[in-house]
Amino acid sequence: MRRSFEKIAIVAQISIGAIFVLFVIFIPLGVLEAGLFDNSLVKILLGILTVLFALLSVYILVATFTSSGTLKRLLLFSDAESKTMTTTKVIKRLVIAEGRKIKGIYVKKIHIHQDDKYGFNLRVTVGITGNDVEESVDTLRCMIADSFYNGLGVRFNSIDFIVKNLKTKYVADLKKAQSQAKNLKEKRGCSKQYIHDAIEPIYDEKNENDNDTDKKSDSEKLEVIKEVMKEKDGPWEEPSGGKEIESDKENQENNELTTNENEDG
């Protein structure tokens, strides 16, 4: 019924819009005279059409954006010559009947939606009066799945529950919660103290050391590196590659001196 009203509203809105467009086109072309609007009947007619156009626009917008996509009928099985469907009333009665068998839960509303997998999604709004919400919902879910599959041959891709009302008898212990909150506050205070009192001085000291290092010359930096290496690995030693180069230079100089002496002799 709602779909039919939406279609009628869309057709009526398009018709009224076409009338306004014709008025706008025919008056500049001279088909209609501008003095036509001086007639009181024409003014009343245009006023009525304007109001209807506004009301239809509001109705279409509300119907479009408030549509939940809920299905009114559910296809059970079909073949080339026939198909068998059921309505939401039958499904609701079946779900309510299964809910009455469970203590601590009752069914309020149901909605059926078609999902992206070409299947159906059942959304059940329930109220809880027991203490164990999880056990009550899981029990109802299993009973719904069993009843629909074995009774109607329908398997839902998902069964979702919305707890609308909750009347549980469980009462939280206030003193225990206060003691737990106090412990949490102390732990949080310790973490804040560690962050602000311990880390920030380290960063400050690091920045000072970096500034002092930048001010030193290359020779001073080399001396600092030597001291650090002595503390870690023992006495500072020149790289082996440097010693080999120096020994090669000494051998070359000795060979040149020997050659010069032989020439003089």
pLDDT digits (tens, 9 = 90+) for 178-188: 888 888 888 77
One DSSP character per residue, 131-143 reads S-HHHHHHHHHHH
Mean per-residue pLDDT, 44-61:
89
Mean per-residue pLDDT, 195-220:
54
Give the separation between CA 77 and CA 119, rounded to whole angstroms: 13
Phi first, then psi: give them for residue 238, nearest 5 degrees: -70, 155
**Residue ranges of domains in the chain:** 2-65, 73-166, 197-247
Measured from the Cβ of residue 193, the count of other Cβ atoms closer than 10 Å reads: 10
Place of tokens 């601590």: 104
Q: What is the token pair recorded at 91?
A: 């499904």
Mean per-residue pLDDT, 209-221:
58
Sign of CA dihedral 238, 244, 248, 251: positive
Percentage of the residues of the chain whose pLDDT score is greater than 70? 69
Type of residue numbered 121: N
CB-based contacts of 21, cutoff 8 Å, min separation 6: none
Which of 54-58, 141-145, 246-250 is predicted with the least confidence, judged by mean pLDDT? Answer: 246-250
| 245 vs 125, residue with greater confidence | 125
Structure confidence at residue 170 (pLDDT): 74
**CATH architecture of the domain with range 73-166:** 2-Layer Sandwich (3.30)
Give the separation between CA 220 and CA 216, rounded to whole angstroms: 6
Mean per-residue pLDDT, 184-213:
59
Measured from the Cβ of residue 17, the count of other Cβ atoms closer than 10 Å reads: 14
Structure confidence at residue 142 (pLDDT): 92
Q: What is the token pair recorded at 115?
A: 């999902």
Mean per-residue pLDDT, 143-148:
90
Q: What is the token pair recorded at 64?
A: 């479009």
